[in-house]
Chain A
Amino acid sequence: EDQVTQSPEALRLQEGESSSLNCSYTVSGLRGLFWYRQDPGKGPEFLFTLYSAGEEKEKERLKATLTKKESFLHITAPKPEDSATYLCAVGVAGGTSYGKLTFGQGTILTVHP
């Protein structure tokens, strides 16, 4: 069974305090790992797609990396506006699972000024 586990469940940082969020996955065949940001009461906002181990993507203060078993979302010098829930999802290759994403439960990030 495909599984995605995110840690920690919640993370509190001071403004400027860099840290990382983890996404561990077990899938039969990876067809992309996806990071989303979700603000309270809103739909998830797409951030990154990673397809192969060693790949990295950056956007402002965020950097996503991928290995064969996990992905990290590094947050450098965060600001209060980075506070949100960050969701990780994996796409599975082949068969009737084509197009489906399996999501982790999310990490709630709070950045204090």
Chain B
Amino acid sequence: DGGITQSPKYLFRKEGQNVTLSCEQNLNHDAMYWYRQDPGQGLRLIYYSQIVNDFQKGDIAEGYSVSREKKESFPLTVTSAQKNPTAFYLCASSVFDNNEQFFGPGTRLTVL
């Protein structure tokens, strides 16, 4: 079955630590996206990548970093510079010339 997988489902981090969230897709989609969702708020775009080895900052990129070395994978690192990292993180992908984005199940990050 084609789809998007995210791991882990739950992640706990101590203050000052960097953590990396995994996102893999086997839909053969060119573009991949990372969003953050906070209670009562819409999704906010962190980073996106339209092609391998290229990515752009979204609306709230500060304190985050990404890489896109393979078409299937788009990991997100939450660095210690991110002041309020506790949130629900969603990864999505789409065909390059189509805005229809399909989402993974999400990772809930909690800073202790």
Interface string of A25-66 (1 = CB under 8 A from B): 000000110101000011111100100000000000000000
Main secondary structure of the interface of B (DSSP, over half): strand
A75 neighbours in B (Cβ, 8 Å): none
B105 neighbours in A (Cβ, 8 Å): 42-43
Cβ of A87 within 8 Å of any chain B Cβ, yes or no, is yes
Asked if B48 and A41 sit within 8 Å, CB to CB, the answer is no
The range of chain A's interface size is: 20 to 34
Number of interface residues, chain B, beta carbon within 8 A:
29
Task: Find B48's partner among A42, A45, A100 (CB 8 Å cutoff).
Answer: A100
Name the residue on B nearest A44 (C-beta): B103
Cβ of B50 within 8 Å of any chain A Cβ, yes or no, is yes
Main secondary structure of the interface of A (DSSP, over half): strand
Asked if B50 and A49 sit within 8 Å, CB to CB, the answer is no
A91 to B43, CA, bound (A): 13
B104 neighbours in A (Cβ, 8 Å): 43
Interface string of A84-113 (1 = CB under 8 A from B): 000101010000101111011110000000
B residues engaging A (CB < 8 A)?
4, 6, 31, 33, 35, 40-45, 48, 50, 56, 58, 88, 90, 92, 94, 96, 99-106, 108
A residues engaging B (CB < 8 A)?
4, 31-32, 34, 36, 41-46, 49, 87, 89, 91, 96, 98-101, 103-106
